[in-house]
Amino acid sequence: MKRLNSPEELEKFRQDIISKRAPDKPCITLCSGSACQATGSRDVAARIEEEIKKQGLSDKVDIRKTGCHGFCEQGPIIVIHPEGICYFRIKPGDVPGIISQTIKEKKVIEHLLYIDPVTKKKIVHESEIPFYKNQERLVFGSNGSIDPRSIDDYLAIGGYSALGKIFSGMTPEKVLEEVKKSNLRGRGGGGFPAGKKWEGSRSAPDDTKYVIVNADEGDPGAYMDRSLLEGNPHSVLEGLTIGAYAIGSHEGYIYVRQEYPLAVENITLAIKQAEAYGFLGENILGSGFDFNVIVHQGAGAFVSGESTALMTALEGRVGEPRPKYIRSNVKGLWNKPTVLNNVETWANVPLIIDKGADWFTQFGTEGSKGTKIFSLVGKITNTGLVEVPMGITLKDIIYKIGGGIPGGKKFKAVQTGGPSGGCIPEELLDLEVDFDQLTKAGSMMGSGGMIVMDEDTCMVDVARYFIHFLTDESCGKCLPCREGLRQMDKILTNITEGKGKEGDIELLEELSETIIAASLCALGQSAPNPFLSTLRYFRDEYEAHIKDKRCPALSCNELISYYIDPDKCRACMICLKKCPVDAIDGGKKKIHIIDQEKCTNCGTCLEVCPSRFSAVKKISGEPVPAAVPEEKRIIEKGTASPA
Partner 1 sequence: MSEIRLQIDGKEVTASEGMTVLEAAQSAGIYIPTLCHHEKLEPFGGCRLCIVEVEVGSWKKLVVSCVYLAEENLKVRTRSEKIDRIRKILVEMLLAHAPESPQLQDLAVEYGADRDRFEKEASFCIHCGLCVRYCAEVKKKNAVGFVDRGIRKEIGFIPEIALKECNNCKECFPLCPTSYLQAAFVLTESLASGGPTGGQTFEKV
Q: What radius of gyration, in Å, describes the C-alpha atoms of the chain? A: 28
Nearest distance from residue 476's CB to partner 1, in Å? 4
Specify the amino acid at residue 238. Answer: E
Nearest distance from residue 318's CB to partner 1, in Å? 8
Is 11 or 513 the residue whose CB approaches partner 1 more closely?
513
Is 81 or 486 the residue whose CB approaches partner 1 more closely?
486
CA-wise closest residue to 488 among 450, 457, 529, 521: 529
- How far is Cα 457 from Cα 609, in angstroms, rounded to an integer? 22
Nearest distance from residue 14's CB to partner 1, in Å? 48
CA-wise closest residue to 333 among 346, 319, 345, 343: 319
Contact 179, 345 (CB under 8 A): no
- How far is Cα 339 from Cα 389, in angstroms, rounded to an integer? 25
Contact 307, 201 (CB under 8 A): no
Is 322 or 578 the residue whose CB approaches partner 1 more closely?
322
Q: What is the dihedral of CA 32, 36, 42, 47, to 10 degrees?
A: -100
3-state secondary structure 511-533: HHHHHHHHCCCHHHHHCCHHHHH
Which are the contacts of 23, defined by CB distance < 8 A and separation ≥ 6?
A: 82
Nearest distance from residue 325's CB to partner 1, in Å? 5
Is 463 or 485 the residue whose CB approaches partner 1 more closely?
485
Nearest distance from residue 478's CB to partner 1, in Å? 5
Is 510 or 595 the residue whose CB approaches partner 1 more closely?
510
- Do you know the residue count of the chain? 643
- Residue 539 has, within 13 A of its CA and on its CB side, a CA count of 6
In 92-192, where does DSSP find H-type helix? 95-97, 130-133, 151-156, 161-166, 172-182
Contact 530, 420 (CB under 8 A): yes
For residue 209, with 0-12 CB atoms within 10 Å meaning exposed, 13-18 middle and 19 or more buried, which class applies? buried
Is 230 or 320 the residue whose CB approaches partner 1 more closely?
320
Quickly count: other Cβ atoms within 10 Å of residue 37's Cβ: 20
Is 301 or 559 the residue whose CB approaches partner 1 more closely?
301
Contact 306, 323 (CB under 8 A): no
Cα–Cα distances in angstroms (integers) from residue 112 to residues 132, 193, 302, in the given order: 18, 45, 40
Nearest distance from residue 511's CB to partner 1, in Å? 7
Is 150 or 514 the residue whose CB approaches partner 1 more closely?
514
Nearest distance from residue 524's CB to partner 1, in Å? 10
Nearest distance from residue 107's CB to partner 1, in Å? 58
Quickly count: other Cβ atoms within 10 Å of residue 311's Cβ: 28
Nearest distance from residue 474's CB to partner 1, in Å? 4
Q: Give the DSSP letter of residue 12.
A: H
Nearest distance from residue 329's CB to partner 1, in Å? 17
Is 30 or 520 the residue whose CB approaches partner 1 more closely?
520
Is 426 or 509 the residue whose CB approaches partner 1 more closely?
509
Binding site residues, partner 1, CB under 8 A? 301, 318, 322-323, 325-326, 471-480, 482-487, 490, 510-511, 513-514, 517-520
Is 180 or 477 the residue whose CB approaches partner 1 more closely?
477
- How far is Cα 603 from Cα 598, in angstroms, rounded to an integer? 13
Is 279 or 302 the residue whose CB approaches partner 1 more closely?
302
Nearest distance from residue 509's CB to partner 1, in Å? 11
Nearest distance from residue 477's CB to partner 1, in Å? 5
Nearest distance from residue 409's CB to partner 1, in Å? 36
Is 41 or 304 the residue whose CB approaches partner 1 more closely?
304
Nearest distance from residue 218's CB to partner 1, in Å? 14
Q: What is the dihedral of CA 105, 108, 111, 117, to 10 degrees?
A: 170
Contact 213, 252 (CB under 8 A): yes
Is 326 or 640 the residue whose CB approaches partner 1 more closely?
326
Per-residue burial over 76-103, b if 16 or more Cβ lie within 10 Å, else e, is bbbbbbeeebbbbebebebbeebbeebb
Specify the amino acid at residue 122. Answer: K
- How far is Cα 93 from Cα 455, in angstroms, rounded to an integer? 39
| CA-CA-CA-CA torsion sign (431, 432, 434, 437) | negative
